[in-house]
Amino acid sequence: MFAQLAVDEQERGQWAEARCNDSAGTMVALFFSEQLDDIAHAKAICGDCPLRDDCLQGALARREPWGVWGGQLFLNGKVLAFKRPRGRPPKHARQPISA
């Protein structure tokens, strides 16, 4: 039990180093935002986080339903390579319908 407590304490200390941890939770909205600029900002914060690899592996193992973890955007437990903006694509991006 004490060994487990020591591990827990060590893990807590490790996660205190996380770039997203400001001890006040002010970055939660940024890391779980639907806005593309917020997502890019969250990914940039992860970019120099010393816990990035552990964070990403943990998120994959837990199949995180959404949010930015370890520098990647998750949806339904999987990494999304690209997030489309909301709404219909602009007309110039649509393919013409041929008969």
Summarize as ranges the residues that interact with ligand SF4 (CB under 6 A): 18-20, 45-46, 49, 51-52, 55, 68-71
- How far apart are CB 79 and ligand SF4 at their closest, in Å? 13
Q: Which two tokens stand for residue 73?
A: 């955007």
Smallest distance from ligand SF4 to CB 67, Å: 8
CA distances 61 to 10, 20, 45, 54, 79, Å, are 20, 20, 22, 10, 12
What does the alpha-carbon distance between residue 60 and residue 69 come to, in Å, rounded to a whole number? 9
Nearer CB in complex with ligand SF4: 49/84: 49
- Specify the residue, 34 or 89, whose C-beta has the smaller distance to ligand SF4: 34
